[in-house]
Amino acid sequence: MPQKFGIGIVGCGGISSSHIEAYQQLHEQCTVVAACDPVEASAARAAERYGISVRYTDHRRLLADDRVHLVSVCVPHFLHAPITVDAARAGKHVIVEKPMALTTGEATEMIEAARASGVMLTVGSERINPRYRFIRNRVLPEIGRVRFSWLTDFYYRDSAYYSRGPWRGKWAKEGGGIFANQAIYTWDQWQDLLGGVDLAYGYWTNILHPEIEVEDIGYGLVFFHNGSHGKAFATSACEPIENGQGIRILGEQGEIATDSAWLYQLDFSLQDQKAEAALRRDFARAVDPSYIGRYQHWQAADFFDAIRSGRQPVVTPESAREALKILNGIHWHGWLHAKRFLEWARSVDDFGRFKDAAEAKHGGWRGGKLVPRLLEFVRTDSRTLDAPFLARD
């Protein structure tokens, strides 16, 4: 075991900066020794900005560098699996950005490669958040049997967002749209609170992003390992509507809930007020305000400790794979119904008068009649999913 971990960065795009800065804050435990990007100028910029001595344009050369013990995989989604597998086979520990892969099959290949090589693998996740950890470990057992949950996410994106990353918005490279690149974060925490995923299905379409191939709105139903079911909605077509965003996990003795994005304000209530008051005293001590926006730092520290102690990291690759079941289930089921969903959506609302999401936002469109209708579907606790566009004449 090295005294300090040598870190290799594969992919020098936007998210890599957060990884590098997290490692530099942990300089007593690690050193970033190499950066790699197939675009030489990108690798050079990262190396110059952060004082990294070695740069590569081929990740295989970085993996052959004996000074590298651990790799951050910060590349487009379609490269997560192959580069992680290469890194594991080269004997390197890996932190891979979300989503873990494009499919559960790819995720399984990554897990098996790490297991076969005796290295550790973790996936970028907000589950390291101490607020979340307290709610999961201390509050969740107190709300009793979960009977229903829902999760609604809004992540407005315009055309400029997709033009900044030409790999985005393509099935083969991004693996989806709003589901794969944004909603996967909160789906990861949602499924973890409910013990993992049995199956998922749903519907999606593209209403205001003609420049991309993938979905910008959709919803689905998930059945969880704990026997409960839940529903989710996500869109990048508009900003949040009033009382539109949030999560509710409804138990027999209380609930876990928030109306804020990213679950940073995840909170709870119990029917037993004395028990709630006691938990809140501990909750106030557990919540660390310095966490916000620094999950890479917290996760790297946890991963280093896991490697040195031989324990599992907080975010295991097996647990991260569960969110892909939601992604794949909704995508695959919804594929055959996307056109009919779009036709129905246009009959409900007149968003079609706008050419794209930016024009709709400028025109004051905030979901019109469509989004509230879909939120009704998601917040209804039935064990089936409303889809009026599938109704026969």
Residue 393: is its pLDDT beyond 70? no
Residue-wise pLDDT tens digits, 5-51: 999 999 998 899 999 999 999 999 999 999 999 999 999 999 999 99
Mean pLDDT over 110-135 rounds to 96
Q: Quick one: pLDDT at residue 14?
A: 87
Mean pLDDT over 297-319 rounds to 97
Mean pLDDT over 293-318 rounds to 95
Mean pLDDT over 72-92 rounds to 98
Residue 127: is its pLDDT beyond 50? yes
Residues 72, 163, 342, 338: is their CA dihedral positive or negative?
negative
Q: Quick one: pLDDT at residue 101?
A: 98
Residue ranges of domains in the chain = 5-123, 128-288+321-390
pTM of the model: 0.96
Confidence of residue 261 (pLDDT cuts 50, 70, 90): low
Residue-wise pLDDT tens digits, 287-300: 888 887 788 999 99
Average pLDDT, the chain: 96
Residues 375, 379, 381, 383: is their CA dihedral positive or negative?
positive
Residue 392: is its pLDDT beyond 60? no
Tell me which CATH homologous superfamily contains domain 128-288+321-390: Dihydrodipicolinate Reductase; domain 2 (3.30.360.10)
Which of the listed CATH numbers 3.30.460.10, 3.40.50.720, 3.20.20.70, 1.10.10.10 matches domain 5-123? 3.40.50.720
Q: Where are the alpha helices (DSSP H) in the chain?
A: 14-25, 40-50, 59-63, 80-89, 104-117, 130-134, 159-164, 171-174, 178, 184-193, 273-286, 295-309, 317-334, 338-348, 357-362, 370-379
